[in-house]
Structure 1
Amino acid sequence: MVYVRKDVSALTAAEKRRFVTALLTLKRRGEYDHYVRTHIEYYVADGEAGLRTAHMTPSFLPWHRQFLLELERALRRVDPAVTVPYWDWTRQRGTASTPWTPDLLGGTGRRSDLQVTTGPFAYAEGNWPLRENVTDAEFLTRDLGRPRDPIELPPAAELEWAMKDPAYDSAPWDSTAGRGFRNKLEGWGGGRGKGSWRNHNRVHRWVGGVMVGGASVNDPVFWLHHAFVDLLWSRWQRRHRGHGDHRYLPATPPGPGHAQHGRVVARHERLPPWDVTPDQLEDHSRIYRYA
């Protein structure tokens, strides 16, 4: 049966409790840290050698769709009523609004060390120690809005810049692609500083703390953020259905001699670490829908 992912701002008090409880259950069982390890392992930049599947690559969207499904299935084994909500950061833009409330994800970190001290994932609660991390910190950290060097969440106009591009992706199939919805949504820009982080990437920077880097899954907001990114892919597909490039690209693997040969996944190739292809992940309508 097709289930529904809701806007986090529309969750009832009971739905919030069940979502939080399911996450904490996975953490207590040791299952949650598997997802953190997986994301760290596949957080490969396009300047590194080898195959890229999760970031700076056309498979950014299907890889994270499957990643979300894996976590969601685990949550639903704990509680079949739970689904991953999405955080629309073009609408819920405050540091004290949903999802940053004490009954859901808690708020920003304290000034001294960015440690989150409110909500169910605060270190003092004893339920969310960080065991898989790129640093030695054992507590969840955030720096919402980065007050000492302010940064804003992506505005609707920036998102529209990505949504109106009719091509899914384009050569050279990495973080420098100037044309294509995927790279514009993922948010790699030219230059340095704030202007080089757009859409998806800018949200990670705005949250700050552990959300900056490969261990970003340590913050449960990762899933809410990527559920919205997943929804945006669905909206983009509907908008550009009649365009020739609306399907996943590249359709065929880059050939020998191409800079991306063996480094990106084509439409019908296996998407590690799973036995699934981007083609199989383009349509989620038989599994879930968005409210």
Structure 2
Amino acid sequence: MGAGFNLTGYNSKGEYDGRSEFSSDGFDQQGFNRASFDCKGLDTHGFNYLGLFVGFTYHCEYLPLSQCQHRSQDGLSREMVSFSPGKHCADVACGDGCGCSFEGRTYRFGESFESGCEVCLCSYTGAVECSCRHLTQRKEVRDMTLAERETYQQAVKMLYSKRGVWEDFARIRAEYVPQANGQYTFLPWHRYFLKTLERELQRVSSCEVSIPYFEWTVDAGSLATSAIWQANVFGGNGEHKTDCVSHHPFQHKTGWSPCLRRKFNTSVALPDAINIQLILAEEDFHQFSLRIQAISGLFHLWVGGNMASLFSAYDPIFWSHYAFMDNLWMQWQELRLDGLSSYPVELRYVKMKPFDIAPDDIMLSQQQLCTMYVPVTLGTPCNLTTSHKLSGFNKERYNGFRPPGYQRNGDNRDCLNWRARNDHRGMYDKKGFNMQGYDRSGFDQMGWDQYGFGRDNYDRDYFDHDGYDISGYNRYGFNRLNITSFGVRPDGTFTASVHGEDVEKLFENGYNKYGYDMFGFDHNGFDVFGFRTDGYDKDGCNFYFQGPHYMRFYFFIQLQIKMLGPEILSRIKRICPSITPLPEDWLVQNWMALDAHESLSLIRLIEQNWAMQHPFDGDFIPNISSVKEDGIWLPVTPDLRFCFELHWFSGCPIGTAPLACPDLCKTAQCAGYPEAECRVHNCGSCFTEWYERETDSHVMCQGW
């Protein structure tokens, strides 16, 4: 303002400019301030302080759902913001208020305030800009330490105990579903919705709390056995008659009211990691957003219960699922230089209800929302400094029970003592589960103990609590008698039935065709899972030494598929069914099929494209033994869990199956390196490769 006066008419000395046409709030009778902007930050033509047109007219109509959805077909000139069933226009707020609206409060332009872990400012554009005091790191659920997971669970408990707060989040998602599921607002709306809840969790707990994301493509082929459904992680499926999840870590002794409901629909086929990579390759934002929205809907339908309703945000898994969806959007943005400008300009500055935040205010997750995502497995500590028990079983194979099956207090699994009298302590409910959701044998409703072992005593890597796999071999290839599958003892001697020359054929030059010696180590001293005998990997970390190994497989597989283009990815054969098409009633309920000739047709076209990019491998035979046909032991890889064959120990990259090649090394020679070791390359084609024996490094022969 002139002469150093601000918008309310005062300068730095406290002097007033004397303009009587403006009130003490700085506005004239027409509602404009000294800079000719109203209390919403707009001039008479609807432009804000940055010269951007953001002046929109809001109005309310009392219409049935079908007519309201029909109004949304007018293109970008009209957008449905919310739908409130059973309410009249007089019952709902419609339009913008003055200043900045932030988490239920209104702030004046230029006003600064603290919000939990951030310092915020109400800018003159009407947007709230916050600076980071603490960068929130969202980890994959399985990468959280026990302390981090319990802190998050406790924060949800505390927030739920605040009367009506958790339910309000579910209500907001249901009421504003037209914009939450809008073709262009789906991703930014949920990004800010996530941050809104995260701020509330941090208020009741600490700035260290963050919403973990659930990368369910890790379990695409076996989602029902995912670790997330354990009673001590997110709780499992609902009960048969009520769909209520009787035990989950987010409830107090009294439980949730209404109950948390889930009804798993395992007939829904979800996308795998390759499908996701193909979606990330989509260049157009609208096409990308629609694809993410479609796969998001499939996860809703797979979980069922609350997740299959408009009040899906009532289920804590909703938030971790959408954190995964938001993570995918952030990856999509990082993959292209125009990740920001690709968003439609005409919608970029339109405020999203009920937050009054525009997509432009949250485009950069780390810079604008103080939030970043940690890739799978990279969120764990490098080392375990304290030992942890692998399972709940003792050396007599009892989980809390003594032979012949009685607990220390004298009660057995049937709640009876040796005198056949009932246990009256009240530790277990009528169905035999304690407060944590575990029965007297230590297993939850889904059949897992708190350490990740199933009722069959095997974990998700198919190893038992003693470290032996389904064929009875440990990670080094020795059975319980300390003998390998080819008859060698740890001291290098052979069993009586084994001929030494047969073993030597398997281990020419000391290593088998997979690159491991007779004792299960490669040229650098690492076992099949990448660890030395002291439990450390090449990076000096031991966190994953005892598993879960499938998470590390997933991490390394991700590195490979991110290097592949859509053409190669589309040719990789799968061993799971192609992605399930979304039912039409779901599309209508979630405002995704407003125009049968356009929106619905576009979604069906996307689904047809997914089917063509999903070749099914009808010849795949699952591994039922870890001992190969040649007698060599290798661990069972998580092919069925990931939905495609890894060919991991063949050395071939994803998408290239190993071939049965002739012995090309029999007559081959390496000029210049006569001591070099010859190996037959059999990935997609057959040719010889040469390696230095000492270092196992690749060498080039003269004349090649």
Identity of matched residues, %: 31
- Of 98, 114, 125 in structure 1, the residue corresponding to residue 243 of structure 2 is 114
**Residues 1-291 of structure 1: pairs in structure 2 closer than 5 A:** 1-30=134-163, 31-44=165-178, 53-80=179-206, 81-93=208-220, 94-121=223-250, 125-129=253-257, 138-144=258-264, 146-147=265-266, 150-169=267-286, 180-187=287-294, 199-241=295-337, 243=338, 247-252=341-346, 266-286=347-367, 287-291=370-374
Instruction: Render the CA deviation track for 1:260-284: whole Å, top value 9, x for unaligned.
Output: xxxxxx1011111112110111101
**In 2, Cα distance between equivalents of 1:112 and 1:128:** 17
Instruction: Render the CA deviation track for 1:45-80: whole Å, top value 9, x for unaligned.
Output: xxxxxxxx2103201111001100000000001111
Q: CA deviation at 1:141?
A: 1.3
Q: CA deviation at 1:216?
A: 0.2
| Contact 2:187-2:329 within 8 A present in 1 as well | yes
| Contact 2:187-2:326 within 8 A present in 1 as well | yes
**In 1, Cα distance between equivalents of 2:313 and 2:280:** 25
Task: Provide TM-score, normalisation by structure 1.
Answer: 0.76
Q: Which AA in structure 2 matches 1:41?
A: E
Instruction: Render the CA deviation track for 1:202-249: whole Å, top value 9, x for unaligned.
Output: 1111111110121001110000000000000000011122x5x75353
Q: Which AA in structure 1 matches 2:372?
A: R
Q: CA deviation at 1:101?
A: 1.3
Aligned residues: 235
- Residue 117 of structure 1 aligns to a residue whose secondary structure is coil
Q: CA RMSD in A?
A: 1.8
- Residue 301 of structure 2 aligns to a residue whose secondary structure is helix
**In 1, Cα distance between equivalents of 2:284 and 2:192:** 22
| Contact 2:243-2:263 within 8 A present in 1 as well | yes
Unaligned residue ranges in structure 2 (runs of 5+): 1-133, 375-704
- Residue 4 of structure 1 aligns to a residue whose secondary structure is strand
**In 1, Cα distance between equivalents of 2:233 and 2:353:** 32
**In 2, Cα distance between equivalents of 1:182 and 1:277:** 17
Q: Which AA in structure 2 matches 1:159?
A: I
| Contact 2:260-2:306 within 8 A present in 1 as well | yes
Task: Provide TM-score, normalisation by structure 2.
Answer: 0.32
Q: Which AA in structure 2 matches 1:141?
A: R
- Richer in helix (by share): 1
Instruction: Render the CA deviation track for 1:53-110: whole Å, top value 9, x for unaligned.
Output: 2103201111001100000000001111210000001103432323211112110112
| Contact 1:154-1:203 within 8 A present in 2 as well | no
Q: Which AA in structure 2 matches 1:117?
A: S
Q: CA deviation at 1:163?
A: 1.3
Q: CA deviation at 1:118?
A: 2.4
Q: Aligned pair in 2 of structure 1 residues 65, 105: CA closer, same or farther (>3 Å)? A: same
Unaligned residue ranges in structure 1 (runs of 5+): 45-52, 130-137, 170-179, 188-198, 253-265
Q: Aligned pair in 2 of structure 1 residues 60, 110: CA closer, same or farther (>3 Å)? A: same
